[in-house]
Structure 1
Amino acid sequence: MKLRRSLLCGLAATFLISAAPLAQAQSQSQSQSTPQGQAYPTRLIRFVVPYPPGGPLDAIARMLAEKMREGLGQQVIVDNRPGAGGNLGADMVAKSPPDGYTIVMGAVATHAINPTLFAKMPYDPVRDFAPVSLVASVPNVLVINTEIAARHNIATLPDLVRYAKAHPAQLNFASGGNGSAGHLAGELFKSMAKVSMVHIPYAGAAPAQLGLLAGQTDLMFDNLASASQNIRAGKLKALAVTTARRAESVPELPTVAEAGRDYGLAGFDINTWFGVLAPAKTPAPIVEKLNAEIRHALQSADVRERMAKLGAEPSPTSPEQFGALIQAELKKYAAVVKASGAKVD
């Protein structure tokens, strides 16, 4: 009996010793293959920009991709997928595997305006995405053609409101198209200030700005980065920025809410923002890793300097904060879009 017990104990000990390395190897293999973020990333990441190349959003996405590549140790490739007002690229990411290897630079259009503007949406802006971080906000600015401003003695935002009230529907404002941020800013302005102005939609922001410079239209709610050069050249007169706070690049320019507080415009707040999102159900450790890399990139001096030249303000957030912003903006723009009557079939 003693000999048998000894042999059994010896066999058991031998099994445990030989099995230990195998168990350890299996454990390591599982930790690398499970979606816990330890091994992420092991291959290139596709960073979808749902708009054509050019413009602040695309430029900043490329800066971010360059910095993230350094921190993650993997290629981050910008992939422009324009179409349907940004919906095409956003939808591609919404339907991608939730593994952190396909992300999108979403924007106020794709995640706040389009869901009400379009009769049919291919994705749900909340349910189909995992917010990673807000990246930047780009203030919009209310500008007027300088010759028209001089002709009507409009030097300030209150001057504009008073003139519009005294001359209903005689002023017009340009935008990049029905449902664009510039269009909705104009509709919100009209509603809050209780003035009547005619909306003139163009096929894009660039043609709208050219029309304004040529005197075909009177004023426009333009992207500050796009309008800055013409403001400095004296071709456009800036009356106010549309954000709740003054823009860092033009701190002397009041906000619409400040300048128009006596004209029903207190609380006016419209801006262009964009941020990174992953497909829904992307593991939290991967989202957190991407968030940390974005925060690090936005803190670098060269990125901040280059963003300032584009009129963009770095605005990193936690995933939860970005998600809350999207929810709030969806509600705000739903009301504005419905009031404007804008629709895209």
Structure 2
Amino acid sequence: MRFTRRAGFAAALLPMAARAQTWPTRPFRFVIPYPPGGPTDILGRVVALGMPAAIGQSVVVENRAGASGVIGSQEVARAAPDGQTFLVNASIHTIIPHLNRAMPFDALADFVPVTMIARVPLMVVVNPALPIQTIADLIAWLRANPGRASFASSGNAAAPHLAGELFKQMTDTQMQHIPYRGSGPAIADLMAGNVQVMFDSIPSSAGAVRAGQLRALAVTSTTRTAAFPELPTVAEAGVPGFDISTWYGIWAPARTPMPIVERLQQATASAVAAPEAAARLASLGAEPVADTPAQFAAFCRSEYDRWGALVRTAGITGD
């Protein structure tokens, strides 16, 4: 009986192994768990556009927004591990499990990390109608207007939320957090003046900044970004030690054959290295990474632990 079961299991793996050797034979899809227009959507589409040249097949991008990325991620976690469905998500993937004990999936066990696409600093942006030109002005205005300010984010406990909470702690200021279903809706409300501040990923706010619809004050990384070299870092603008960035990656459903995972990683590396994609990423302040599946898996585990500690320290809940 033991031999029969093992033989049956091995036989079941044969079709999947054969598919892995020939993958991809038809277009596959990237599920992006946020609305169009946000940074995850932008970077996912940059990679998708490069896939025909890198791998010989196109990618269908599908936005499945809701619940800080949980709805789209759950769809991928439940998908067949056949190389037809992948998740493109941000660092929130390793944060949200610490906020929701009733998660419909395990963020680590139910996915195979494929590769990190890019790492991107955030940018502090404000509504241009405010009398704020610098980080020092922002701190002074917040202290002079306690209880009046609110800051937007792309979702509860996403990097823009954590950046705002960190800023509040390090500057002893107060702002009310207003979460949105993605950066696109948050930026729309910021431009309308319904919220005053946002710590947003550069890809989603760069266009509005260049058009004069938002005013950028600084970037949140330890070094300036080539996309906006005139902007100081928050640390050099008066908040020493401030450092937070976000990152974006690709995951496959658990049990996806490693030949497929490795092939997609290689294709992603080619896609982001193509001149047009590299220029696009640079204009958005994104640093391409395209690390190996093993490197990305180790990174996801370390980020899971790091963000969990920060969530607990800051007292952030899933409400």
- Give the TM-score normalised by the residue count of structure 1: 0.76
- Do the aligned partners of 1:188 and 1:336 also contact (CA within 8 Å) in 2? no
SS at match of 1:143: strand
Q: 1-side partners of 2:309 and 2:88: how far apart? A: 24
CA RMSD of aligned residues (A): 3.0
Q: 1-side partners of 2:62 and 2:73: how far apart? A: 12
Which stretch shows the higher mean deviation, 242-251 or 228-237? 228-237
Residue 281 of structure 1 deviates from its aligned partner by: 2.9
Q: Structure 1 63/227 Cα, relative in aligned 2: closer, same or farther at 3 Å?
A: closer
Write the letter of the residue equivalent to 1:249.
Answer: A
Q: Structure 1 31/219 Cα, relative in aligned 2: closer, same or farther at 3 Å?
A: closer
Q: Structure 1 231/55 Cα, relative in aligned 2: closer, same or farther at 3 Å?
A: closer
Q: Does 1:80 align with 2:81?
A: no
Q: 1:178-236: per-residue Cα shift (whole Å, max 9, x none)?
A: 43433222111112333333334456544543443344443222232333344334453
Equivalence map 1:101-120=2 (5 Å): 101-109=84-92, 111-120=93-102
Larger radius of gyration: 1
Q: Does 1:274 align with 2:248?
A: yes
Residue 31 of structure 1 deviates from its aligned partner by: 8.6
Write the letter of the residue equivalent to 2:32.
Answer: V
- Which residue of 2 is the match for residue 8 of structure 1? none
Choose which of 263, 282, 295 in structure 1 pairs with 2:269.
295
- Which residue of 2 is the match for residue 182 of structure 1? 160
Name the structure with the higher helix share: 1
Choose which of 299, 316, 319 in structure 2 pairs with 1:341.
316
- Do the aligned partners of 1:56 and 1:310 also contact (CA within 8 Å) in 2? no
Residue 292 of structure 1 deviates from its aligned partner by: 0.9
Equivalence map 1:1-345=2 (5 Å): 34=17, 37-109=20-92, 111-149=93-131, 154-162=132-140, 164-165=142-143, 168-169=146-147, 171-201=149-179, 205-260=183-238, 263=239, 265-271=240-246, 273-338=247-312, 339-344=314-319
Residue 294 of structure 1 deviates from its aligned partner by: 0.7
**Fraction of identical pairs, as percent:** 44
Residue 251 of structure 1 deviates from its aligned partner by: 1.8
Q: 1-side partners of 2:90 and 2:155: how far apart? A: 17
Q: 1-side partners of 2:165 and 2:198: how far apart? A: 11
Q: Structure 1 205/101 Cα, relative in aligned 2: closer, same or farther at 3 Å?
A: closer
Q: Structure 1 181/39 Cα, relative in aligned 2: closer, same or farther at 3 Å?
A: same
- Do the aligned partners of 1:148 and 1:215 also contact (CA within 8 Å) in 2? no
Residue 269 of structure 1 deviates from its aligned partner by: 1.0
- Give the TM-score normalised by the residue count of structure 2: 0.81
Write the letter of the residue equivalent to 1:136.
Answer: A
- Which residue of 1 is the match for residue 6 of structure 2? none
Q: 1-side partners of 2:104 and 2:211: how far apart? A: 43
- Do the aligned partners of 1:56 and 1:312 also contact (CA within 8 Å) in 2? no
Write the letter of the residue equivalent to 2:272.
Answer: L
Q: Structure 1 156/39 Cα, relative in aligned 2: closer, same or farther at 3 Å?
A: same
Write the letter of the residue equivalent to 2:21.
Answer: Q
Write the letter of the residue equivalent to 2:110.
Answer: D
Gaps spanning 5+ residues in structure 1: where?
Answer: 1-29
Q: 2-side partners of 1:267 and 1:93: how far apart? A: 34
Q: 1:266-290: per-residue Cα shift (whole Å, max 9, x none)?
A: 042132x221111223333222211
Q: 2-side partners of 1:33 and 1:202: how far apart? A: 40
